[in-house]
A and B are shown apart, each in its own frame.
Chain A
Amino acid sequence: MDFASFLIQTLNSLQYGLLLFLVASGLTLVFGIMGIINLAHGSFYMIGAYLAFVLTSATGSLFAALALGIPLALAFGALLEWALFSHLYKRDHLEQVLLTYGLILIFEELRSLLVGDDVHGVDIPAIFSASIPLSDVLSYPVYRLVISVVCIVLAVALYFVIQRTRLGMMIRAGNHDRVMVEALGININMIYRVVFALGVALAALAGMLAAPISSVFPNMGSHVLIISFVIVVIGGIGSVWGALVAALIIGFVDTFGKVLIPELSGMVVYVVMAVVLLWRPEGIFKKG
């Protein structure tokens, strides 16, 4: 591998890992704080991608699609939490799995009814459609760099909210002891709703950003869901920081695995997970 292709793979790994982080951060927060296993989380990624397709077709611009899609995703998340997930907190994991698996089927069916089963593409916005030449034959698309930058900005913002704001303190406190948080006069259910809606919006945003490079297709959420669970488990349930590190590890392992050992690339990620779990059964970063 020459330097230019090494650089390209590194940038791809980074971009893929960061995108996965957007999905996994919401999953780990919802899992860690509310104790909910949400199998439908990948569907939010799928919904985001389809939102990007539908809204970009309607408005003619991915930016307009993002401006409309993000508030829609937040509202959808809050509604879903209020209508369904808020009833799941005290239930056991089997019931959570049943409901959220059912949701996957419902979301896919609705997607099929509303948009159909065809594969779609979303155009890269014109101002980001250029490529940066890296060698005589190799170049790197600007749009992928933009995705990475957006993800980094969001990761920093998320870190700031969780580590430096009162809301973040309440979220972390709720991760440890929800009754005590309530006894301090804090409406923990509202905190849960905010966290859930935020998680949905981040996953949908990941789908919207990915739509122009991955195309938009049925069941696109399922692969992302599985990888996201791998990330949550490797990073430590409930740890956003852990999710970031784990997502980057997975991004690199998966991308370079496909290049260096293509025959085994499908399983490299799981081998990494197995090794991490043998070394640290609770994930790299423990809860909290």
Chain B
Amino acid sequence: MSKMLLEAKELHTYYGASHILHGIDFHIRQGEGIALMGRNGMGKTTLIKSLLGIVRPRHGRVMVCGDDFTKAPTYRIAQRGIAYVPEGRGIFPNLSVRENLQMAARAGVDGQREWTFERVMATFPRLGERINNGGWQLSGGEQQMLTIGRALMTNPDLLILDEATEGLAPLIALEIWRIVKEIRKTGIATMIVDKNHSAVTSICDRAMILVKGEVVFDGDSETVRDNPELIQKYLGV
């Protein structure tokens, strides 16, 4: 079996008094693709933030490549090869497109520098056209490409995409999916949250469904795709 990248045991996370995650077990291996699914407010983003140390779980453990990172600061978790594309994108509007990419450039955990500025430019030609524009001048789709490109500049082993296509025009969303598939092919593990169930389940091999902060399904993404009852029961609006 391939190497364990990120693992969490018995995560309980609270926002003030409200109990959001109820003892979640999670793991992702090298090269794996996981679709993290569930309706709004079920704890998907909270799980991601707990894994990254942005939100501190009250109980439970977070392990990166087998080492305990439960209390580690976010930047140390990121330095172990985990890149995050947050909901709402999170570009730096006060930096140019070039600067957004340059400031993140870093060799990967094993010193790999496969994702260079040039390669990101080749993957996102649209960014090349806007290289000297300020981040605030980009369209939603371009911002999303910039965030993904910026995450790749850190040469990650795992890419976490939270609602990457939200609010984008269908054609732009298709373009994003095409790029994510390309990234998957390079062997980077991915964890994807998205409302487009058929797209995520076709890109990822595994699916995990959260309901009220608990894992109700963890298995083949095909099972989810081919099972309308499951989708209706856990994901239907």
Contact = CB atoms under 8 A, between A and B. Distances in A.
Interface of A: 166, 169-170, 172-173, 175-177, 179-180, 182-189, 287-288
Nearest to A183: B84
A179 B52 CA distance: 11
Contact of B154 (A182, A185, A188): A185
Contact of B75 (A169, A177, A185, A288): A185
A177 B89 CA distance: 11
Interface string B69-89: 000011100110001101000
B54 A176 contact: no
A103 to B, nearest CB: 27
B106 interface: yes
Give me the 6 closest cross-chain CB pairs, A-B, nearest first. A288-B94, A185-B78, A169-B103, A182-B74, A185-B79, A173-B92
Given A172-B94, A180-B92, A187-B73, 18 more contacts: A169-B95, A172-B92, A173-B100, A180-B86, A180-B90, A182-B75, A182-B78, A183-B78, A183-B84, A183-B86, A183-B90, A184-B103, A184-B151, A185-B154, A186-B78, A188-B75, A189-B73, A288-B94
Contacts of B206: none
A137 to B, nearest CB: 51
Interface in B23-59: 52, 54
A266 B150 CA distance: 51
A179 B95 contact: no
Interface of B: 52, 54, 73-75, 78-79, 83-84, 86, 90, 92-95, 99-100, 102-106, 150-151, 154
Contacts of A184: 75, 78, 83, 103-104, 106, 150-151, 154
Classify the secondary structure of A's interface with B. Answer: helix
Contacts of A287: 94
Contacts of A288: 93-94
Nearest to A167: B103
